[in-house]
Structure 1
Amino acid sequence: MSAFENGMLKPLKKKKLSEHIYDEIERLIVTDELKEGEALPSERDLMEIFGVGRPSVREALQKLEQKGLVEIKSGEKTRVTRPCTETVINNISGIAIGVLTQQNERIQLEKIRQLFEIAVVREAARVRTAEDLKQLQLALANNKVQLSNYDGFIETDVRFHLAILGCLHNPMALQMYSTFIDWLIKARSKEKFIELHEQSYIHHCCIYQAIEAGLPDKAEQYMRQHLQYVMDNT
């Protein structure tokens, strides 16, 4: 029996005109037939090329802009761009936060965080500089000051973890982690987390001491304990 007879092929789904336009322009950008900085035809020209009305063209261009593939400026031609890390993250943030309202998905993301931060803290203990340690000390001191303030503690908690990641001097990783941890915080229970401040601060101190001493194994041990404690109690 051929594929045409056994039901493997399904009827084609109808697409909106704007989706056809988006797909075609996206293909040209991805295959590098349209180069970064190159101007697209005007809306009127695109209407003629695709045989559609202005609303379909504008909808396609807006979607391309949202994906970071073009830049639209009033009074200027639309030009091809390349999506940056921030654009990519922003495109999935809303979906991610919605998914994380489900307990199982949040736990999975917490486990991904564990794998990531354990690798980071080991490297931080190995490569940290004197300036990195100063930034960690400052973050830790600010964290202590905010022990009784929920919002302040959360903010300084995140800054401490970002300071650890800062030891690797990787701006893209910093940006991605900032969004990653923001998703988790928004999905947590505020009431539960308030109780964890003091213990979390103690964990932070231990992690800092291991990084300062240049002990990757100890840094990993303390980070594992800290993240597991947070995951078990939020």
Structure 2
Amino acid sequence: MSNSPPPIIKRQRLFDQVAQHLEAMILSGEVGVGDPLPSERELMDRFGVGRPAVREALLWLNKKGLISVSAGERSRVVEPDPMELLEHLSGAALLFASTPHGMQQFQQTRLFVEVALAREACRWSSDEDLKQLENLLHENEATENDKSAFATTDDAFHFGIASLSHNPLINALYRSVLSVLQDQRYTSLQHDDALGAAINCHRRIFDAIAARDPDRAEAEMRRHLTDVETYYWDIRRRQPKASSQKE
């Protein structure tokens, strides 16, 4: 007979059990997108619980983004929103990125994502897509003497490449990564060479995508993001120790 300690069995709260049953109903399709859930009274009778347990379960499902809860109306199953799927991670992600190790991992994640997006954009993009991306490039090039305006148009150009996928989940993931890396952008732009180098790289990235050359698009995007990382860490090394982020 094993001498290992017995497993600890946790007692589930009533609302947890109700929420799990309701979630199973939604995921199985028993209640479809846009359909109302049973009323609170019906749920109380169905599960043999009180109103507090039902309301806690509904609030939990609302927080998960599965249902909408409105006063005076029955809760309804909602269409999944990719941005909401990732918003819950934003606070923890910002905290993680506030350390050098976390920042390095987010930079690596961005590199993986954007290099792949640049390569695939050569296959995905239509002539109309390229025209829109070129317009974003021109707007970015017009800000070469304004760092604040550059940061905004820089976001727009990079997101324009991600948007060529026409995949809302990719768009949401990319927006989330960019939002966490705002500190990187503004820090790296303090480097004397950063703005000019970025605008030149954007032009080369666009030209490669427009030429439908995936190898060149990948190489130019990798070069660009590696430069951004180099400028960021160079500026960070120059900052006084007291203002540097904790390890």
Q: CA deviation at 1:12?
A: 2.1
Corresponding position: 1:193 with 2:189: yes
* Displacement of 1:226: 0.5
Aligned to 2:208: 210
Question: Cα deviations across residues 147-180 of structure 1 (Å, max 9, x unaligned)?
Answer: 3434322221111112223333334322331222
TM-score by length of 1: 0.84
SS at match of 1:124: helix
Residue 140 and residue 37 in structure 1: after superposition, are their counterparts in 2 closer, same or farther (change >3 A)? closer
Deviations 1:194-233, CA, capped at 9 Å, x for gaps: 3222211111111112222222211111111111111222
Task: From the superposition, tell whether residues 44 and 137 of structure 1 become closer, same or farther in structure 2 (CA, over 3 Å).
Answer: same
Instruction: Measure the CA separation in 2 of the matches of 1:189 and 1:87.
Output: 24
Matches of 1:156 and 1:16, distance apart in 2: 49
DSSP 3-state at the match of 2:172: helix
Normalization by structure 2: what TM-score? 0.80
**1:98 matched to 2:71:** no
TM-aligned CA deviation for residue 50 of structure 1: 4.4
Call closer, same or farther: CA 1:24–1:168 in 2, change over 3 Å.
Answer: closer
CA contact (8 A) 1:37 1:81 kept: yes
Distance 1:16 1:175, change over 3 A: same
Partner of 1:149: 146
Structure 1, unmatched stretches of 5+, are none
Q: Is contact 1:66-1:91 (8 Å) kept?
A: no
CA RMSD of aligned residues (A): 2.5
Shift, 1:192, TM fit: 3.5
Distance 1:194 1:52 in 2: 60
Q: Aligned partners of 2:96, 2:22: CA distance in 1, in Å?
A: 30
Give the 3 Å change call, closer, same or farther, for CA 15–193 of structure 1 in structure 2.
farther
Q: Pick closer, same or farther for the CA change 1:127–1:48 going to 2, 3 Å.
A: closer
Q: Which runs of 5 or more residues in structure 2 are unaligned?
A: 233-247
Note closer, same or farther for the CA distance 1:13–1:143 as it changes in structure 2 (3 Å cut): same
- Structure 2 distance, partners of 1:189, 1:164, is 17
1:83 and 1:167, CA in 2 relative to 1: closer, same or farther beyond 3 A?
closer
Letter in 1 for 2:210: E
Matched, 1:112 2:109: yes
Letter in 1 for 2:199: Y
Write the distance in 2 (CA, Å) between the matches of 1:44 and 1:68. 23
Deviates more, 1:208-217 or 1:47-56: 47-56
Relative to structure 1, the CA distance from residue 84 to residue 189 in structure 2 (aligned partners, 3 Å threshold; closer, same or farther) is closer
Inter-partner Cα distance in structure 1 for 2:185 and 2:195 = 13
Distance 2:144 2:190 in 1: 9
Cα distance, 1:61 vs structure 2:
0.9
Percent of aligned pairs sharing the same letter: 34
Please say if residues 146 and 153 of structure 1, whose CA atoms lie closer than 8 Å, have aligned partners that are also in contact.
yes
Distance 2:116 2:228 in 1: 18
Matches within 5 A, 1:113-192: 113-185=110-182, 187-188=183-184, 190-192=186-188
State which of 36, 40, 43 in structure 2 corresponds to 1:39. 36
Equivalent residues of 1:126, 1:215 under 8 A apart = no
In the other structure, the counterpart of 1:58 is 55
